[in-house]
Amino acid sequence: MTELVLSIFDPNTLLPHRAGIAGLALALSAIDPTGAPMQWEVTEDAVKLSWEGSDLEAIQWLLKQTYRSEQGYLEVPALKLDEQGRYIFTEGVMSTFLQHIQQRTREKQTVSLSFLVEKDKPEIRIDYYPVVDCYYTCDSKDAFTSKGAFKKSIPIKSHHLPGLIECFVNGAYVESPTGFLSLLFLPLACGYYQLPGYRSALVIPEVRNLKEWVNLRRRIPGRTYRSFRASSAGESALSFLLREKLVEDAQQFRVDYCEVYQLGNQPWDGNQSYLKQAVHRVQVNDQVLGLYEIASRLLPPRVKLKQDGEGVWLAESKVLAWISDNLITNKAWYSGFFEFRKATTIYPEDRRGLVVMTEHLNADEQVLFDAVQGAFSAFLRNQIQQAQKQGRPLDYGQVTDKVIYRLQRPNTQQEFATALVDFLSQFRSKAARAAGPQIFWWIHQESNWRKARDLALLAIATYTSKKGDALDGEEVAIESSGDSEIHSETQQANVL
């Protein structure tokens, strides 16, 4: 008789093993034990299995109950997936665990799938290669002896668990029977995301209570093609954790930690497209998830027409990718705006999202932000007056770039402090009154001045008129002169 205990608290397990044990618990929850050739018990921290006879036959039976190839998809009854869910799961597994051609067989001819992403927009059309069979639906005889018993040491190829080893030249990863068994069910616990540029992301959750996790997983709603697409590996992790958080009554045992593997091309292997490029360990709080939830609503992927006019595609927001990558490292969401703006084109729809995001600054950040925007309003009024005297239209884009260059040119704390003080002193506003001590504190801390520069540049790039119009190249009304006095009263105000 064979008896195995797979515990999530076993010191020899890694995060993928613990998630795999959770996947096994989920698979067992959907199997009728009546007449089964094995017995099992799922506790809060372990799965206990026992059976008589051949190990090979018992595991093959368990895999057949868990994985099936149906209608061109890899079907898992325990997940209870709809059509879009089956596509997401199948394509996710094929681009991660089963990416190597030796581990799956697909039809040579594609079928066309259509998914509606936005109302009143054309459907996204995808060419999909149906799945015939794969590693999980075939006989896993490599793990067993000729007599059908588990081998003591079981080799696992690196492409079957992305990121497990750095390169295939290091040889196969060797597992124990319990470790091998847990990894067979890891796909059931993971999240899958498609990234821009022929990359993918695999999210592996932390599981602390098997029973509660299974109940939680069953209550999570199905996914759509839109939720399958992510702008970055960081967004993949946040999207995964947010889905877990939104399930009711999941606060005590919810998943709040995960690892995300970013997969893509590597120069040392031309046969596989989804090899490990980066690994992020992500643990965030409710405040971070709240900011991500707001940003994801403001900066969603958008359906766009292809250049040739034939068909449409889904464009992810580069701004959301930048914000997400900040949030997973516990930085301010606007960190690095200085470098981001220089390297990235910010489109009007993303600019509008950024304008709303600036409503979610803390009290200290808001002081500096408002002071810079107030000074920029006074500067704009000055430029408009000059343009009117010269009888020419005002080039808003050129004026905006002039101020941004003025504040992004400094490369040291002292240079930036001097440039910012000069700007706020020259173009005074109500928002800067009595804010001197707080602004001084911001720009004279070694750890803060770059954040202050990012925030100042963001304030200018997202400046909005009183009509609610963002300055994105159009002529819009700016604040009235009463909002930014630059005469005797403001000249007496000590900005810093």
Tokens, residue 491: 């000249």
Most confident range, picked from 106-110, 195-199, 394-398 = 106-110
Most confident range, picked from 123-137, 165-179, 249-263 = 123-137
DSSP string, 245-297: HTSTT-TTT---EEEEEEEE-BTTBSS-S-EEEEEEEEE--HHHHHHHHHHHH
Percent of the chain with pLDDT over 70: 87
DSSP string, 415-448: HHHHHHHHHHHHS--GGGTT-HHHHHHHHTSTTT
pLDDT computed for residue 184 by the predictor = 93
Residue 50 · residue 1 · CB < 8 Å: yes
Smallest CA-to-CA distance from 404 within 381, 376, 377 is with 376
Confidence label for 476 from pLDDT (cuts 50, 70 and 90): very low
pLDDT computed for residue 488 by the predictor = 30
Strand, coil or helix: what is 114?
Answer: strand
How do residues 139-173 score in pLDDT, each as one tens digit?
777 889 999 999 999 887 655 666 555 555 666 77
CA distance 147 to 435: 80
Residue with tokens 């810079």: 372
**Using N-to-C axis directions, what is the helix angle for 413-426 and 436-443, rounded to 10°?**
160
Q: Which amino acid is at 47?
A: V
Q: Is pLDDT of 467 > 50?
A: no
Q: Higher confidence at residue 234 or residue 254?
A: 234
How do residues 46-55 score in pLDDT, each as one tens digit?
999 999 999 9
CA distance 3 to 177: 11
When pLDDT is averaged across residues 302-324 and rounded to a whole number, the result is 85
Residue 423 · residue 406 · CB < 8 Å: yes
- Long-range interactions of 381-389: CB distance < 8 A, separation 24+: 381/478, 381/479, 381/481, 381/484, 382/427, 384/478
What's the whole-number average pLDDT of the chain? 85
DSSP string, 9-47: T-TT--HHHHHHHHHHHHHHHTS--TT-SEEEEE-SSEE
Q: Is pLDDT of 57 > 90?
A: yes
pLDDT computed for residue 191 by the predictor = 95
Q: Is pLDDT of 221 > 90?
A: no
pLDDT computed for residue 63 by the predictor = 95
pTM here is: 0.86
CA distance 262 to 372: 38
Percent of the chain with pLDDT over 90: 48
pLDDT computed for residue 438 by the predictor = 74
Q: Which amino acid is at 461?
A: A
Beta strands in 116-256 (DSSP E): 124-128, 131-134, 154-156, 173-175, 191-195, 199-205
Q: Is pLDDT of 192 > 80?
A: yes
Q: Is pLDDT of 335 > 90?
A: yes
When pLDDT is averaged across residues 377-390 and rounded to a whole number, the result is 89
Residue with tokens 């090979």: 56
CA 64 vs. chain centroid, Å, equals 33
**What's the farthest any 2 CA atoms get from each other in the chain?**
96
Radius of gyration of the chain (CA): 28
Q: Give the number of other Cβ atoms within 10 Å of residue 166's Cβ.
A: 12
pLDDT computed for residue 164 by the predictor = 55
Lowest mean pLDDT among 71-75, 93-97, 371-375, 397-401: 397-401
When pLDDT is averaged across residues 31-49 and rounded to a whole number, the result is 95
Lowest mean pLDDT among 29-33, 209-213, 321-325, 487-491: 487-491
Residue 58 · residue 37 · CB < 8 Å: yes
pLDDT computed for residue 171 by the predictor = 67
Tokens, residue 419: 């440039």
pLDDT computed for residue 103 by the predictor = 84
| Burial classification of residue 98, based on how many CB atoms lie within 10 Å of its CB (0-12 exposed, 13-18 middle, 19 or more buried) | buried
Smallest CA-to-CA distance from 172 within 187, 190, 154 is with 154
Q: Higher confidence at residue 320 or residue 270?
A: 320
Q: Which amino acid is at 476?
A: V
Residue 384 · residue 478 · CB < 8 Å: yes
